[in-house]
Amino acid sequence: MMEAHALLIRATKDSFCELDVVSQLFKYHGVSPTELDLTFGERLLDREPVISSQQWTYVYVCGHGNEEGFGEAGPDSYSDPLVWETWSEFSELICDRLEPGATVLTACCRGGFEQVAWQIFTECKQVGLVTGPRFNVTESTLNAGFTAFLHHIEHKKNDPTVAVAAATAASGAEFLSYDRLETESSQRYTDWLAARSDNDQSLNGHAAPKVPRASMVSPSE
């Protein structure tokens, strides 16, 4: 059996990421982690050699974020972010290096999580599952939730629905999970795709609206 690999992306200097803890958690379950730190102002594209070094079963994203993307505030706040990746750019860049049915774990987004999952699924057919906390959470809550999730996925080989329920019970915070097959069969997703297509057509030849970066939040806020 081939070894599984996890790409751990840090997009904020805030302490809640705790990549060392998350890294040990993956190692405990036989998943080889690779940390990627963007907090020195680099873009994901700048780290393409790292991204291309493996086929990833998991991608863990930790940063401040919203339904548009994730990143880190610059010296003049989120109006000029130090790090900023849209979910579409993120998905396109990593897609070719993902195992089929890969899982994206998010520790970044209060609000708009459903649309985050939809964007990832739309841009990358390799992603099978997107999961993370529904609302702002602390470091210990994140760790408890993802510990339970991975235990049920990697050790017990349970269905993601069971794993997410276990993450919620263990952490005391609601964890959500979006499955590609279920999402693509939902009318809400179909309507969202149609609205997105209409919006893209209306923007053809015009500048896209700016990302509302001031609304970015983190689990620790």
**pLDDT tens digits, residue range 82-121?**
678 999 999 999 999 999 999 999 987 656 789 999 999 9
**pLDDT of 189:** 95
In-domain check, residue 32? yes
Tokens of 164: 């997410």
Positions in the chain whose pLDDT score sits under 70: 1, 73-82, 109-111, 200-221
pLDDT given at position 199: 74
Q: Considering the domain boundaries, does residue 220 fall inside one?
A: no
Q: Which pLDDT value is given to residue 215? A: 35
Structural domains of the chain, count = 1
Cα–Cα distance measured from residue 39 to residue 42, given in angstroms and rounded to the nearest whole number = 7
Residue 87 is assigned to a structural domain of this protein: yes
The token pair at 150 is 């991975």
Q: What is the pTM of this model?
A: 0.86
pLDDT value, residue 107:
84
Which CATH number does the domain housing residue 190 bear?
3.40.50.720
Position 3 scores a pLDDT of 87
Q: State the pLDDT at residue 83.
A: 75
How far is Cα 58 from Cα 116, in angstroms, rounded to an integer?
16
Q: CA 133, CA 146: separation in Å to the nearest integer?
A: 9
Alpha helical stretches, state H, 37-78:
48-51
State which residues form the domain around 106.
4-215
Residue 89 and residue 43 in contact, taking contact as beta carbons nearer than 8 Å: no
Written as six digits, the tokens of 157 are: 């080989």
Residue 39 in any domain: the answer is yes
> Would you tell me how many other CB atoms lie within 10 Å of the CB of residue 10?
22
85 within domain boundaries: yes
Show the tokens assigned to 34: 């690779």
φ, ψ of residue 158 in degrees (nearest 5): -80, 165
